[in-house]
Amino acid sequence: MKTLIRILIVIGVLIAIPLVVALFVKKEYAVEKEIAIDKSKSEVFEYIKYLKNQDNYSKWSNMDPDMKKSYEGTDGTVGFVSRWESDNKEVGVGEQEIKKITEGERIDFELRFFKPFEATEPAFMTTETVAEDQTKVKWGFSGHMNYPMNIMMLFMDFEQMIGDDLQTGLDKLKTVLESQPSTPDGSISFLENYYNSTESKLKNVISGLSEAQLNFKPSADQWSVAQCLEHIIASEQMLFEMGKKEMEKPAQPERKAEIETTDAELIKMTTDRSEKYQAPQELQPSDKYSNAQLALTDFTAGRQPILSYIKSANLENLRNHISEYPTGKSDGYQNFLFVAAHTARHTKQIEEIKSNQAFPKN
């Protein structure tokens, strides 16, 4: 009996030791990583404030290609929630919510983990101007481990592990942003990237919208999100065909000096929504879409031949084709630039609809 008692005492001591040790181990940890990106602060902030863009650079967002994702709210605004669900134990189930935005400076998030463990942790990203075209981005994460699980802090360097993942994400973010031309430089590369950025923006804005949200109209004489989408898709197809027909005409390099509008001015004028215009009858929507994913599928399908055409185009040949419109003259390059700028214009219109106070919450 004495032997049994001694064994129980030894077991009790072995159990008690880590419990006692855990009393003196920290429960909180914080990680912060930073990187310098050769882009202006406004460009960087405009990109990172959209949670869905983390799919393009966050290590965690790319750990499981079969991860299920869902969204609630308007991305890039306070209250937007991105949810994930994965059978991969390193990913698990959870959600991230935008809690606060200090425009151009800082975004605060709240991460809520449900599986394989439950926890609620804060995170943030900040932008700081280093030079005119260079921005310092910081990505921070704080965590808490309850007693007695905090003893794991003695054996696992959580700050190192999480810090490495944050740095991997920042390195990828730098690559993604620096590969995109900042301002129109007249290159095929800029044209391709402008198409890609306008597509990414549109997808961010409409992804996950319900049928009620798609069909909401701020007033009887205003379009719904679904109608804007239908107009965008139809317009891109029509404008692309018009641009190709212009390119089939004889080149007129001697008339290049007649082009008075720069590429930057064309984008600015097209995307400026201070003035509204009536779409022609053939581009008026007919309530074709009630499903956001179907609209996105059609949009992507319509974009593919345009991008293929642009990639195989000769830049000098594009610039040598001069077109005349009631609004002025443009060259072949600008004709295709206008297609993407037109989509950017109506993406802004969709954002205006979503900002309406009566816009359905789901």
Mean pLDDT of the chain, nearest integer: 85
Sign for the pseudo-dihedral over CA of 282, 286, 288, 292: positive
User: Do the beta carbons of residue 314 and residue 321 sit within 8 Å?
Assistant: no
Supply the pLDDT for residue 15.
47
Every domain of the chain and the residues it spans? 25-178, 188-354
Q: How far is CA 250 from each of CA 194, 245, 255, 310, 336, rounded to the nearest angstrom?
A: 27, 11, 12, 19, 18
Tell me what percent of the chain is helix, strand and coil, each rounded to the nearest 5. 50, 20, 30
Stretch (H or E) spanning 142: strand 134-144
pLDDT in tens, 94-148: 999 999 999 889 999 998 988 887 788 889 999 999 987 899 999 988 765 554 4
pLDDT cut 70: percent of the chain above it: 87
State yes or no: pLDDT of 274 exceeds 70: yes
pLDDT in tens, 285-299: 998 998 888 998 999
Q: Is 186 exposed, middle or buried (0-12, 13-18, 19+ CB in 10 A)?
A: middle
pLDDT band at 16 (very low <50, low <70, confident <90, very high): very low
Q: Is 310 exposed, middle or buried (0-12, 13-18, 19+ CB in 10 A)?
A: buried
State yes or no: pLDDT of 266 exceeds 90: yes
Strand 322-325 versus strand 328-331 pairing type: antiparallel
pLDDT band at 181 (very low <50, low <70, confident <90, very high): confident
Q: What is the mean pLDDT of residues 232-247?
A: 96
- Model confidence pTM above 0.75: no
Sign for the pseudo-dihedral over CA of 156, 160, 165, 166: positive
Domain 25-178 has CATH 3.30.530.20: yes
Supply the pLDDT for residue 150.
44
CATH topology of domain 188-354: Four Helix Bundle (Hemerythrin (Met), subunit A) (1.20.120)
**Stretch among 1-10, 41-50, 229-238 having the lowest mean pLDDT:** 1-10
pLDDT in tens, 41-95: 888 998 899 888 898 899 888 888 888 988 888 888 899 999 999 988 778 999 9
